[in-house]
C-alpha cells in the first residue's frame, strides 16, 4: 500500500498540471529524452577531454600565480608593477632555464654514453672474480648486463627527452596565456562560479575560495623554502664532491622539490648518472648526499608544508599525487598539492555542513 502511494506521489510530482500542455523543457527532462541528453553530454565532454584538461591545468596554474601576485603586490605596493614583474619572471624562467641547463647536460650525457659500458663491464668482471674466489657470493654479472642494456637505452634517449621536456609546446604556451588572463582578472571566474550556484550557496562558495587562497599561500611559502634548501644543499654537496654542472643540477633539484615526497629523489637521478662517469665511488657519495637531503626534507620541510602551512593529511596528498600522475603525467605530479587543496577545501566545507546539520537534527527543542 505504501509503495503504491509512493509511486502515485512520484507520478503527480512529474506530471504536468491539468489544462497546461507540456513544454519542451518538461519533455526533455523526463524519461528517455533525459537519458539521451545525459549520454550526449558525457560523449561531448569525453570528446573535449583534452581541452578540458588544459583548462583545468590553467585554472590550477592561475591559483598559484594569484597567490604569488598577491605577495608581489604587498611588496611592490602597485598591482600593475606586480603584474609586470610576474610576467617578466615567468618569461625569464621559460627562456633562460633551457639555455642555461640544456647545452651542458647534453654534453655530459654524451660523455656518460661513452663511459657507461666501460664502468658496467668492470663491475661485471669484478662480480665474476668475487664469485670465483668466494662461491658464497652470488654472480650478478647477468643482472649487470641487463642493467647495462637498460641504462644504455635510457641514457641514449635522455638528451631527446630533455629537449622535449624543456621545449615550449603549443599546449604549454596556451596554458600559460590562459592562466595569466585568469590571474589578471580572477573576478570573472569567481562570478561564473557564483552564477552556476544557487544564491543560498554563495556564502559557501566565497568561503571555499578564501580557504583555497589561504592554503595555497601557505603552500607557496613553504615550498619556496624547501626548494631553496634543497637547491643550496645539492649545490654545496655536489661542489664538495667535485661533480660538474653544480648550478644546473642545483636548479633542477630545487625545481623538482615542487613534486611532494618524490621530488628530491627524482632530482638526484641526473647527478647520479653523471657521477658514474667519474667513478663508482662518486656515484655512491652522490646517492648518500641525496638520501640525507631527502630525510631532512621528509621529516622537516614536508610536515611544515603539508601539515602546518597547507593543513592537509599526508595520506590524502599521496593519494592525490598518484591520481594526478595517472591522469596528467608529470603535470599532475607538479600540481598535485594545489589539486589536493581544492579537493580538501570542498571536502571540509561539505563535511562541516553535514556535521552542523546532524547536530541540529539531534538537538532537543528549547
Query: Above 70 in pLDDT, residue 164?
Result: no
From the CB of residue 146, how many other CB atoms can be counted at a distance below 10 Å? Answer: 11
Nearest to 213 by CA among 69, 3, 14: 69
Axis-axis angle for helices 49-76, 314-328 (nearest 10): 130
CA distance 257 to 150: 26
CA distance 344 to 216: 12
Please, what is the Cα angle at 211 between 208 and 214, to 5 degrees? 155
Q: Which DSSP state fits 137?
A: S
Exposure string (b/e) for 311-321, b if CB count within 10 Å is 16 or more?
ebeeeebbebb
Burial class (CB in 10 A: 0-12, 13-18, 19+), 54: middle
CA distance 193 to 247: 44
Query: Above 50 in pLDDT, residue 6?
Result: no
Axis-axis angle for helices 336-362, 314-328 (nearest 10): 130
Q: What is the pLDDT of residue 289?
A: 92
Averaged pLDDT, 345-366: 63
Query: Above 90 in pLDDT, residue 44?
Result: no
Q: What is the pLDDT of residue 353?
A: 61
From the CB of residue 273, how many other CB atoms can be counted at a distance below 10 Å? Answer: 19
Averaged pLDDT, 8-31: 50
Q: What is the pLDDT of residue 361?
A: 58
Q: Which three cell numbers stand for residue 306?
A: 603539508
Choice between 108 and 57, residue whose per-residue pLDDT is larger: 57
CA distance 230 to 291: 12
Q: What is the pLDDT of residue 240?
A: 93
pLDDT (tens digit, 9 = 90+) per residue, 211-233? 777 777 777 777 778 888 888 99
CA distance 280 to 158: 21
CA distance 271 to 330: 20
Q: What is the pLDDT of residue 89?
A: 81
Q: What is the pLDDT of residue 239?
A: 92
79-83, 152-156, 241-245, 265-269: range with lowest mean pLDDT = 152-156
Nearest to 122 by CA among 346, 324, 276: 276
pLDDT (tens digit, 9 = 90+) per residue, 249-283? 888 888 888 777 777 777 888 788 778 777 778 88
Cell 552542523 locates to: 356
Exposure string (b/e) for 220-253, b if CB count within 10 Å is 16 or more?
bebbbebbebbbebbbebbeebebbbbebbbbbb
From the CB of residue 69, how many other CB atoms can be counted at a distance below 10 Å? Answer: 20
Q: What is the pLDDT of residue 42?
A: 73
From the CB of residue 68, how many other CB atoms can be counted at a distance below 10 Å? Answer: 19
Q: How many CA atoms lie within 13 A of 173 on its CB side?
A: 5
Query: Above 80 in pLDDT, residue 290?
Result: yes
pLDDT (tens digit, 9 = 90+) per residue, 311-348? 666 677 777 777 877 776 767 777 777 777 777 777 77
The most confident of 17-26, 103-112, 247-256, 317-326, by mean pLDDT = 247-256
pLDDT (tens digit, 9 = 90+) per residue, 141-158? 677 677 667 666 666 665
Q: What is the pLDDT of residue 2?
A: 44
Q: What is the pLDDT of residue 354?
A: 59
Question: Whole-angstrom distance between the N-terminal and C-terminal Cα of the chain?
Answer: 37
Amino acid at each position: 500500500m505504501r509503495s503504491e502511494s509512493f509511486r502515485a506521489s512520484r507520478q503527480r510530482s512529474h506530471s504536468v498540471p491539468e489544462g497546461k500542455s507540456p513544454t519542451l523543457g518538461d519533455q526533455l527532462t523526463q524519461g528517455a529524452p533525459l537519458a539521451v541528453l545525459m549520454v550526449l553530454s558525457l560523449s561531448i565532454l569525453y570528446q573535449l577531454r583534452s581541452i578540458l584538461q588544459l583548462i583545468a591545468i590553467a585554472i590550477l596554474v592561475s591559483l598559484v600565480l594569484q597567490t604569488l601576485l598577491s605577495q608581489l603586490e604587498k611588496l611592490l605596493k602597485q598591482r600593475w608593477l606586480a603584474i609586470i614583474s610576474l610576467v617578466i619572471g615567468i618569461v625569464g624562467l621559460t627562456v633562460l632555464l633551457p639555455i642555461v641547463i640544456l647545452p651542458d647536460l647534453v654534453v655530459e650525457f654524451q660523455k656518460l654514453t661513452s663511459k657507461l659500458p666501460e664502468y658496467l663491464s668492470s663491475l661485471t668482471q669484478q662480480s665474476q672474480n668475487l664469485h670465483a674466489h668466494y662461491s658464497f657470493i652470488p654472480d650478478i654479472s647477468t643482472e649487470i648486463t641487463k642493467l647495462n642494456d637498460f641504462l644504455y637505452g635510457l641514457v641514449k634517449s635522455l638528451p631527446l627527452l630533455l629537449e622535449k621536456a624543456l621545449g615550449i609546446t603549443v599546449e604549454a604556451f596556451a596554458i600559460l596565456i590562459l592562466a595569466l588572463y585568469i590571474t589578471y582578472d580572477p573576478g570573472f571566474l569567481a562570478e561564473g562560479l557564483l552564477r552556476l550556484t544557487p544564491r543560498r550557496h554563495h556564502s559557501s562558495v566565497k568561503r571555499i575560495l578564501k580557504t583555497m587562497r589561504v592554503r595555497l599561500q601557505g603552500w607557496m611559502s613553504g615550498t619556496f623554502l624547501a626548494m631553496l634548501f634543497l637547491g643550496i644543499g645539492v649545490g654545496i654537496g655536489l661542489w664538495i664532491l667535485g661533480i660538474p654542472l653544480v648550478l644546473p643540477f642545483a636548479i633542477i633539484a630545487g625545481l623538482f622539490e615542487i613534486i611532494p615526497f618524490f621530488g628530491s629523489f627524482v632530482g638526484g637521478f641526473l647527478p647520479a648518472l653523471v657521477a658514474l662517469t667519474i667513478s663508482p665511488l662518486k656515484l655512491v657519495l652522490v646517492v648518500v648526499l641525496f638520501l640525507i637531503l631527502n630525510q631532512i626534507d621528509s621529516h622537516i620541510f614536508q610536515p611544515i608544508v603539508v601539515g602546518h602551512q597547507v593543513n592537509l593529511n599526508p595520506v590524502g596528498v599521496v593519494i592525490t599525487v598518484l591520481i594526478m600522475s595517472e591522469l596528467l603525467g608529470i603535470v599532475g605530479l607538479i600540481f598535485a598539492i594545489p589539486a589536493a587543496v581544492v579537493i580538501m577545501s570542498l571536502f571540509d566545507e561539505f563535511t562541516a555542513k553535514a556535521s552542523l546539520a546532524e547536530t541540529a537534527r539531534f538537538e532537543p527543542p528549547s
